[in-house]
């Protein structure tokens, strides 16, 4: 070994220098291991102390749900939320009564939903140590729904408090419309444009306020979901297959959201909020069929008790005859949530989401010689004259897989302070392929035969998100956070002459962010200010040639919003200004193809 090091590093002190580097790496690993054990110990101690404190001074929230005529509403879904994001779910009994026993002292929002009634959200309800709070709520038939919004500020707010432009599509509306995909569920929302380039399964884009599709951030329960192997490092390649399975609601923030959610939130943010497990055991199944030989089957079940519960949904969509009769598409999607209340102050929740899709694709349109007319700067687009429209390719298609798993710990330290720690892993695998077959009607366009290829794109993103929230007085709510993200991607491209693999490319991201929310004049005036700093780290050895000497640049984003609510006329005036950014993708950093 010494001779090998002598030849590799040369004479002198090089051997001792090499030994010093190895010791440093070992020390770092030992330090990281000890830090991880210390973090786990601190979390365990916090959970135990919270449990002990809760046993000595229990608080509760109970009440009754009735309609406008005073009749009690049974089987209503009652949910309480804290500003830290923790939430509990209960169902009213035959007398319309509900109870949340052993809750942590603090400030809560109560949200009520029932079939045939508009959703209701209460004002903030404060509970002190050992207090039993009683409340009565009245539901109205029809009218405009109230809702709790998370995406605008990263913490639960009543829709009347939100100072940014947010739309909410709840589970009841999604179910009533029977939409098979998230993109179709968003269609018709103000400021949202949905484009689908062909039959179901073709490339679909979501554009918020006219921005590009990769300027829209997709979140699952507040954590960003994107494809690290995508050419833009965004969620563009996975939007087509997203299915609203086991979703409580979909929130759409229109306007810059990079101060809280980082990359690709220039035009806005779409947050998919998973459904919470209810009390008892529930199971449902349905199947339907429609035009284009479309078949859809769905199953959902949940089970919950006082301290723990889970919900899971599964759907299968088959389109056996596309718009032109040949474009098949199949998508299997599943999603669920597990929630465990270690104590009245500590909640551990986990989310899973997955899609497996297979689609047959058409050849893209291309220009014909008729488009090059002398003297015509902008020739008219005439099918089969100036351009050839897309047409069927018998053996071209794609297979996509998306897997997302996340876990979050939320701790309400006291009635003014809380924190959350979350980890999420997103893994994508895309396979695009094309064989030698050609539609005989268009064989003249391929005098040398069709181009055969297989392209594999695999990406992964690991995200660690930590947030600390504090209430300062009755009108100031401050949030500070740290986010670490590690993304990696690898591609293999198989042309007719052999396979061309690329090494795994990696990028690390560090971000610090903060937000201050202020309210005045009995919550009629709402102000919010946010800022985020983000830096990137690449290993020089991973970058070829001249790229090694190029330093990565940091990004600083911020936004501010103000809103004033006129209760007498139910009118709100809003203003929101900010900037956003999209982080360079691995394709842009390292230049591998897709």
Contact assessment for residue 189 and residue 252, using Cβ atoms and an 8 Å cutoff: yes
The interaxial angle of helices 2-9 and 14-56, nearest 10 deg, is 110
**pLDDT value for 33:** 53
Mean pLDDT, the chain, integer: 84
**pLDDT value for 29:** 53
Contact assessment for residue 359 and residue 434, using Cβ atoms and an 8 Å cutoff: no
Phi, psi of 22 (to 5 degrees): -65, -40
CA distance 270 to 255: 11
Q: Exposure of 333 by Cβ count < 10 A (0-12 exposed, 13-18 middle, 19+ buried)?
A: buried
pLDDT tens readout for residues 504-515? 889 999 999 999
Q: Is the pLDDT of residue 154 over 70?
A: yes
Bridge partners, residue 533, by sequence: 512, 556
3-state secondary structure of 277: coil
Q: Alpha carbon of 285 to those of 115, 279, 301: distances in Å?
A: 19, 19, 9
Tokens 């903030």 correspond to 124
**pLDDT value for 198:** 83
Q: pTM score, two decimals?
A: 0.82
Tokens 């919550």 correspond to 523
Average pLDDT of span 193-212: 90
Nearest to 361 by CA among 428, 294, 433: 433
Q: Where are the beta strands (DSSP E) in 443-570?
A: 453-472, 476-494, 500-501, 505-520, 525-537, 555-566
Average pLDDT of span 234-238: 92
Q: Is the pLDDT of residue 238 over 70?
A: yes
Contact assessment for residue 507 and residue 538, using Cβ atoms and an 8 Å cutoff: yes
CA distance 98 to 279: 12
**pLDDT value for 44:** 53
Average pLDDT of span 176-196: 92
Average pLDDT of span 250-255: 94
Nearest to 253 by CA among 192, 188, 340: 192
**pLDDT value for 351:** 97
Q: How many helices (H) and strands (E) does the chain have?
A: 6, 33
**pLDDT value for 142:** 65
Q: Is the pLDDT of residue 3 over 70?
A: no
3-state secondary structure of 567: coil
Tokens representing 473 are: 């007085």
CA distance 484 to 32: 15
Within 10 A of 92 (CB to CB), how many other CB atoms are there?
A: 22
The more confidently predicted of residues 403 and 43 is: 403
Contact assessment for residue 409 and residue 346, using Cβ atoms and an 8 Å cutoff: yes
Confidence band (pLDDT; 50, 70, 90) for 28? very low
Please report, to the nearest 10 degrees, the dihedral formed by the alpha carbons of residues 151, 157, 161, 164 taken in order.
Answer: 0
Tokens representing 455 are: 């392209």
* Exposure letters 93-112 (e unless 16+ CB within 10 A, then b): eeebebebebbbbbbbbbbb
3-state secondary structure of 528: strand
Average pLDDT of span 349-372: 89
The more confidently predicted of residues 216 and 386 is: 216
pLDDT tens readout for residues 520-561? 998 889 999 999 999 998 876 666 666 666 678 899 999 999
Lowest mean pLDDT among 41-50, 172-181, 280-289, 301-310: 41-50
Lowest mean pLDDT among 80-84, 278-282, 493-497: 493-497
């Amino acid at each position: 070994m010494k001779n090998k090091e002598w030849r590799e590093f040369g004479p002198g002190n090089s051997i001792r220098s090499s030994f010093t580097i190895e010791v440093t790496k070992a020390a770092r690993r030992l330090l990281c291991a000890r830090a991880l054990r210390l973090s786990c110990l601190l979390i365990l101690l916090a959970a135990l102390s919270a449990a002990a404190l809760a046993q000595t001074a229990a608080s509760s929230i109970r009440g009754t749900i009735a309609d406008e005529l005073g009749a009690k509403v049974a089987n209503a879904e009652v949910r309480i939320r804290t500003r830290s994001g923790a939430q509990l779910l209960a169902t009213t009994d035959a007398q319309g009564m509900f109870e949340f026993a052993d809750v942590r002292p603090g400030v809560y929002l109560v949200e009520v939903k029932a079939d045939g009634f508009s959703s209701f959200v209460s004002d903030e309800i404060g509970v002190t140590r050992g207090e039993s709070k009683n409340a009565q709520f009245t539901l109205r038939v029809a009218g405009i729904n109230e809702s709790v919004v998370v995406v605008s500020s990263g913490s639960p707010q009543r829709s009347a408090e939100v100072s940014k432009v947010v739309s909410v599509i709840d589970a009841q509306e999604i179910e009533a419309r029977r939409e098979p995909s998230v993109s179709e569920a968003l269609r018709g929302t103000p400021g949202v444009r949905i484009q689908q380039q062909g039959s179901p399964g073709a490339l679909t884009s979501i554009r918020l306020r006219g921005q590009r599709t990769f300027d829209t951030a997709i979140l699952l329960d507040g954590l960003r979901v994107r494809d690290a192997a995508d050419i833009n490092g965004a969620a563009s390649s996975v939007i087509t297959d997203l299915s609203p399975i086991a979703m409580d609601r979909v929130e759409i923030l229109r306007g810059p959201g990079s101060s809280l959610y980082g990359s690709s939130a220039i035009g806005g943010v779409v947050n998919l909020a998973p459904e919470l497990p209810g009390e008892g055991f529930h199971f449902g199944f349905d199947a339907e069929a429609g035009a284009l030989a479309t078949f859809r089957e769905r199953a959902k079940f949940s089970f919950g008790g006082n301290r723990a519960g889970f919900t899971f949904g599964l759907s299968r969509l088959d389109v056996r005859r596309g718009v032109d009769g040949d474009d098949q598409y199949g998508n299997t999607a599943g999603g669920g949530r597990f929630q465990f209340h270690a104590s009245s102050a500590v909640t551990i929740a986990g989310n899973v989401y997955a899609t497996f899709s297979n689609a047959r694709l058409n050849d893209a349109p291309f220009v014909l010689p008729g488009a090059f007319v002398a003297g015509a700067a902008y020739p008219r687009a005439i099918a089969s004259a100036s351009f050839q429209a897309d047409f069927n390719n018998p053996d071209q298609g794609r297979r996509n897989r998306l897997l997302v798993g996340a876990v979050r710990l939320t701790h309400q330290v006291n009635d003014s302070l809380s924190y959350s720690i979350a980890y999420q892993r997103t893994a994508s695998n895309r396979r695009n392929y094309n064989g030698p077959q050609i539609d005989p009607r268009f064989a003249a366009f391929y005098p040398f035969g069709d181009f055969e290829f297989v392209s594999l794109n695999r990406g992964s993103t690991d995200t660690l998100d930590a947030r600390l929230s504090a209430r300062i007085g009755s009108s100031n709510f401050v949030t500070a956070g740290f986010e670490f993200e590690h993304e990696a991607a690898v591609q293999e491209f198989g042309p007719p002459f052999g396979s061309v693999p690329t090494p795994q490319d990696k990028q690390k991201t560090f971000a610090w962010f903060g937000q201050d929310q202020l309210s005045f004049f009995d919550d009629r005036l709402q102000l919010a200010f946010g800022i985020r700093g983000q830096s990137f780290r690449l290993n020089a050895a991973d970058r070829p040639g001249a790229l090694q000497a190029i330093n990565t640049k940091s990004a600083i984003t911020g936004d501010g919003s103000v809103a004033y609510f006129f209760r007498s006329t139910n009118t709100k005036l809003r203003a929101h200004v900010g900037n956003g950014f999209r982080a360079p993708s691995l394709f842009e950093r390292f230049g591998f193809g897709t």
